[in-house]
Amino acid sequence: MHELAQTIEHYGLVVVFASVLLDKAGLPIPSYPVLLVAGALSVSGGAQVIAVIAVAVSAAMIADLIWYAAGVRYGRRALGLVCRISLSPDSCIRQTENVLSRSGPWSLLFVKFVPGLRYVSVVLAGIQRLRLALFVFLDGLGNVLYFAVAVVLGWLFHDALDAVMARLVHLGIFGAALVAAGLAMYWAVRWIERQRFIRQLRMDRISIQELTDMIDAGQLPVIVDVRPAEARMREGMIPGALASGISEGPRVLQHLSREAEIVVYCTCPNEASAAMMALHLKRAGFKRIRPLLGGMEAWVSAGRASETAVSDTASAVALSDRASRNPELAPNFVDPSRNSETLA
């Protein structure tokens, strides 16, 4: 920590700019410790608090605009890249989409405070073609809030930070080793979490060609779309697919035979949301579930048609109709309308 303080004191705002730029570029290098120290040093002759915040925001905006442009140009392929670079689990994409769906563009003001979501939110803004002027305004304001917290905390608690740095100086090389070990542990935890998540998702996939062959042969599986409603409205759905949330799958499909062929799709890297839904269904006893390799993006790229999105209620009605006409698909299904007629 003492070496960090000396570096910041000597090179000033250059260190702040570089650390924030690398952090916001997606590299697992936390910039908050640098900003805390910069805030503490502002009390004893370092750069002024306003200057530190301004430089941090400038660096962040450069990185964010690059990721925004990547989202506009490369679409969801950019999401896979940002998850790999930042060592964030691919599930953070679905979480960020849910936040953006509920709060809209205004979520850019606070999503940076949620670990794992601050990188993805910028790329998603580009994918969703958020107006550049609005993105710059909201993202810039969000960055001001995010970095101001770190710098002001460093300024307020400079005595405590000075005490920590003094203790590390007293420890000498052991203090430096302690700081290095802390950084290494941070990287290790991020890497282990991502690898553990990827291992959870290891299961057989079904390719677009396999799925279309089944459909063309009249062997239509139960297809489930687990994307957020906004994504379904924007991009359409695979014809005949059902809309469902990840954790709602077992309830939505409760009347189906546990031997039913089920295909689940999303638009996440590594089919993360679809694989998570498949895990929920397996725990509920379903045996033949496969995520669609490449998801909706692969379906569209293959030149297959899509249909207008349907609501969860319409999906439930469609599934009930299909189950009533196919006893083998849902042997335990009871048509509510027929049941009410019988009671009458």
Neighbours of 174 (CB within 10 A): 9
Question: Which residues, 6 or more positions from 108, have their beta carbon under 8 angstroms from its beta carbon?
Answer: 121, 122, 125, 135, 138, 139, 141, 142
Region 305-319 average pLDDT: 67
Sign of the Cα pseudo-torsion (276, 281, 287, 293, in order)? negative
Judged against a pLDDT cut of 90, whether residue 129 lies above it is answered with no
Start-to-end CA distance of the chain, whole Å, equals 78
Averaged pLDDT score across all residues of the chain: 76
Judged against a pLDDT cut of 60, whether residue 18 lies above it is answered with yes
Maximum average pLDDT range among 2-16, 27-41, 330-344: 27-41
In terms of C-beta density within 10 A (0-12 exposed, 13-18 middle, 19 or more buried), how is residue 300 classed?
A: middle
- Least Cα distance to 12 among 32, 30, 34 occurs for 34
At residue 148, the pLDDT reads: 92
Region 17-21 average pLDDT: 91
Q: With contact defined as beta carbons under 8 Å apart, do 139 and 111 qualify?
A: no
Model confidence over 138-190: pLDDT tens digits? Answer: 999 999 999 999 888 888 776 666 566 555 555 556 555 665 677 677 667 76
For residues 258 and 283, give the distance between their C-alpha atoms in angstroms, rounded to a whole number: 11
Model confidence over 206-225: pLDDT tens digits? Answer: 899 999 888 888 888 889 88
What is the band of 124 on the pLDDT scale with cuts at 50, 70, 90? confident
Neighbours of 201 (CB within 10 A): 21
At residue 183, the pLDDT reads: 65
Region 275-298 average pLDDT: 85
At residue 337, the pLDDT reads: 44
For residues 301 and 208, give the distance between their C-alpha atoms in angstroms, rounded to a whole number: 10
Tell me the domains of the chain and their CATH numbers.
2-200 (no CATH), 208-343 (3.40.250.10)
Maximum average pLDDT range among 46-60, 196-210, 260-274: 46-60
